[in-house]
Structure 1
Amino acid sequence: MGSPVELGFVEQAAPWRLRSAQFPSKVGGRPAWLGESGLPGPAELRCGRCGRPCAFLLQLYAPLPARPDAFHRGLFLFCCRQPACYRPGAQGPLRVFRSQLPRENDTYSYDPPPDAPPPEGQTRVSLQLQCGAHLCRVCGCLGPKVCSKCHRAHYCSKEHQTVDWKSGHKLSCAQSAQLDAVIPDHKFLFPEYEIVIEPEEMETPGDGQTDEGTQKDLKEYEALEEAAGSTSEGFESLDEEVLEAMAKHETQEDKIFQKFKNRIAAEPEQILRYCRGREGPIWISGENIPQMKEIPHCSCGAQRIFEFQVMPQLLTHLKVDSLGESIDWGTLVVYTCAENCNLANGYMEEFIWKQDITTDST
């Protein structure tokens, strides 16, 4: 049997293929919202560290065929654009939401979308949903605020209204009848790509690193550290047998990182690994791996299970490098409701964990 993991890769695509009607998986640009009701509001899309609006990072179309209420299903990931918010251990700059719809719904056709571009003139970005809700001109998220001068430009926040004003709205708001015909580049959105999904080829036995194996190795190492710390003279007073065991575990961090590299070696350009509830994530480090108690249950009471992880390779496509601090992660791991509940009848917030690359692994 092959691996149950599916891999995601970025590719350039025609803009129309990345619109909501095509049910895309994609990176960057504005979110191609799935459900139109219950969109996360500005308060839900603020960074938990600096309080600024988050930017759309990626979305994954991940239907559950066995669930009629999740015939269409999407996961939407947002992140802060401030590098300082990504310091090691910080979990606040990331948010993830889940949306799902039955096949028969008020927004999309019952039949699959046509595999052909729409008529000319229908390809431009729309900042108004079919339900009438308006989207922010800067980020494409829900825009409850409106320009007090023209009453036509909508924003998610005062910050983005200011950005748009400085980017040209100051001159155009009293003149243009079609404000969204040409939207300026606000330098806020990430570059846009399609995510293409392919199955992972069968791995060589021993190359992978499961959660269970990693946790076992870490527990053994922590027990040795505790033994060293419990003596009055620390490591110097340990007997020869324990010292040898400690030496054997000195390179545990290198081993975990090497297993991570071995697993992705065949497809080093992968930016995403999907495997809902079948296989755990592959960790890049032995540090900062969440315990089960650190993964909160869904608001419905069900446990959350691993669904997908975002790989560090994605960073090379986001153009976020700078001379100082940069947005950074080792891997981002998304956990979703095991029951795939729909209590909110809209967008449900799920849980995301950021693991950093330790000094020893770089």
Structure 2
Amino acid sequence: MASHAQEQILIGLCDGELDSKRYQSSYLTNKVGGQPDWFPVISRQSPRCRRCAALLTHVVQVYCPLDSSPYHRNLHLFACPGTDCSGRSESWTVLRSQGLESEMAAAQPASRDAPPQEAALLTTDWCDTADDWGMEGEDGDDGWGGGLKKESQVQEEVKAENPTGNTTDISSRLQDLSLEESQEEIPVFSPFFISVVEESDLFGEDDLKHAQELLREYEKREGVAVGELQGSGDGGGEEKYEKTRARHGDAIFSRFMKKISLCPQQILRYCHGGKPLFISEPPSNMAQLFSACSSCGGPRTFELQLMPALVSLLQRKDSNVEVEFGTVLVYTCANSCWAAGSHSAVEEFCFVQADPDQQLFK
């Protein structure tokens, strides 16, 4: 990624319900909930909770190709729906998958029906070339994304991994997949589109005035004074905290609130190679926790984080399943390593911080 774009922060916002009867999502779609849309060359993944072994629920899908890379690139975040596992890092998993355009075209069966145009128009990417947002869908309307996988697609993937044509292995894998899904149901959150804006675009005069009002309300409620927001972003002055401490005694949380007060409805922050926005004091060994890529052993870097406003969107119509957190930070391989011809997603590092004042976002 080009160094001049590393500090560019992108904000993800809820952009309406993804109605499967009207829209067909694909791996090009940024979304909350629903079923994950895997690349045609990637085997379907069903991660489990490291704490209770339950199947994890899909939370967020982000299409995030890197500017200097020829690969399509996705991140999928999963969380355990169990009450006792809520807010624990070991109960979250983030998977990175990549694929070349030529591989996609070869592995994706021809679609009989053209995908709905609305889905293409709402496709957004998170790569360095932010000027292209909203235009990617025009290129993405070429049959790459086939929506949710059908059995025929799984067969294509298995054949790619099994060029000898051993039908016994293929049938066995499909049977195991069907048995697993029939025996254990995976909760699915209602799907929503995610739209993207640059954080710097939020500093309009009217928005800044509204943010200042929210900030004053927060200062009065929490008994803490922080510096004024600057219209030029972080470069226009430093935060200054008075001796009076917030009721929860956490200056880091106060900074967090100040930073997001301009757009409290943000559900995701993206800044590949940038700095995370902690909601509470991180552990002293944080750098060691995410330092090494589990695949290549190289360094990891911060890429994105989920925000408290997302919690209220994670709902099921037929149950009371709920996942709570303050922020979920994702660190990925700095080199975005990928083995040519790979059919398995790479697990990256997730770190969850609880929200010390969750009721503010409900």
TM-score range relative to shorter protein: 0.5 to 0.7
Partner AA of 1:196 in structure 2: S
Contact 1:54 1:78 in 2 (8 A): yes
Tell me which of 135, 158, 162 is aligned to 2:183.
162
Please give the alpha-carbon distance, in whole angstroms, between the structure 2 residues aligned to 1:360 and 1:37: 36
With over 3 angstroms needed to count, the CA separation of the structure-2 counterparts of 1:100 and 1:127, relative to structure 1, is same
- 1:270 shift after superposition: 1.0
1:335-356: CA deviations, max 9, x gaps? 0000111037231111111011
Please give the alpha-carbon distance, in whole angstroms, between the structure 1 residues aligned to 2:251 and 2:151: 49
Structure 2 match to 1:57 = 59
Contact 1:320 1:327 in 2 (8 A): no
Please, which runs of 5 or more residues in structure 1 have no aligned partner? Answer: 135-142, 148-152, 164-185, 218-244
**Larger CA Rg, structure 1 vs 2:** 1
Structure 1 match to 2:11 = 7
Contact 1:334 1:352 in 2 (8 A): yes
With over 3 angstroms needed to count, the CA separation of the structure-2 counterparts of 1:283 and 1:115, relative to structure 1, is same
1:34-62: CA deviations, max 9, x gaps? 2433443x4xx110000011111111000
Please give the alpha-carbon distance, in whole angstroms, between the structure 1 residues aligned to 2:322 and 2:193: 24
Find out whether 1:114 has 2:141 as its counterpart.
yes
1:264-310: CA deviations, max 9, x gaps? 12221111101000x21111112547621111411212100000001
- 1:256 shift after superposition: 1.7
User: What count of residue pairs does the alignment treat as equivalent?
Assistant: 278
Please give the alpha-carbon distance, in whole angstroms, between the structure 2 residues aligned to 1:325 and 1:314: 14
Contact 1:257 1:361 in 2 (8 A): no
- 1:86 shift after superposition: 2.0
Structure 1 match to 2:339 = 343
Tell me which of 146, 153, 161 is aligned to 1:129.
153
Contact 2:314 2:322 in 1 (8 A): no
Please, which runs of 5 or more residues in structure 2 have no aligned partner? Answer: 111-137, 159-171, 204-228
Tell me which of 266, 276, 291 is aligned to 2:262.
266
Q: Percent identity?
A: 27
Contact 1:73 1:101 in 2 (8 A): yes
Please give the alpha-carbon distance, in whole angstroms, between the structure 1 residues aligned to 2:359 and 2:95: 31
Structure 2 match to 1:166 = none
Please give the alpha-carbon distance, in whole angstroms, between the structure 2 residues aligned to 1:272 and 1:196: 10
Find out whether 1:297 has 2:318 as its counterpart.
no
Tell me which of 310, 313, 325 is aligned to 1:314.
310
Partner AA of 1:114 in structure 2: D
How do 1:213-232 and structure 2 match up within 5 A? none
Please give the alpha-carbon distance, in whole angstroms, between the structure 1 residues aligned to 2:234 and 2:359: 16
**SS, match of residue 266 in structure 1:** coil
Find out whether 1:284 has 2:279 as its counterpart.
yes
With over 3 angstroms needed to count, the CA separation of the structure-2 counterparts of 1:192 and 1:324, relative to structure 1, is closer
With over 3 angstroms needed to count, the CA separation of the structure-2 counterparts of 1:201 and 1:115, relative to structure 1, is farther
Please give the alpha-carbon distance, in whole angstroms, between the structure 1 residues aligned to 2:141 and 2:320: 46
Q: Which moved more, 1:193-202 or 1:92-101?
A: 193-202
Please give the alpha-carbon distance, in whole angstroms, between the structure 2 residues aligned to 1:65 and 1:192: 28
TM-score, normalised relative to structure 2: 0.64
Contact 1:208 1:282 in 2 (8 A): no
**SS, match of residue 104 in structure 1:** helix
**SS, match of residue 59 in structure 2:** strand
Please give the alpha-carbon distance, in whole angstroms, between the structure 1 residues aligned to 2:91 and 2:97: 21
Partner AA of 2:25 in structure 1: R
Q: Which structure is higher in helix share?
A: 2
How do 1:248-267 and structure 2 match up within 5 A? 253-267=249-263
Q: Which moved more, 1:323-332 or 1:303-312?
A: 323-332
Please give the alpha-carbon distance, in whole angstroms, between the structure 2 residues aligned to 1:206 and 1:295: 33
Structure 1 match to 2:49 = 47
Please give the alpha-carbon distance, in whole angstroms, between the structure 1 residues aligned to 2:174 and 2:199: 45
Partner AA of 2:48 in structure 1: R
With over 3 angstroms needed to count, the CA separation of the structure-2 counterparts of 1:195 and 1:123, relative to structure 1, is closer
RMSD of the alignment, in Å?
4.1
With over 3 angstroms needed to count, the CA separation of the structure-2 counterparts of 1:250 and 1:101, relative to structure 1, is same
Please give the alpha-carbon distance, in whole angstroms, between the structure 1 residues aligned to 2:139 and 2:246: 55
Structure 2 match to 1:238 = none
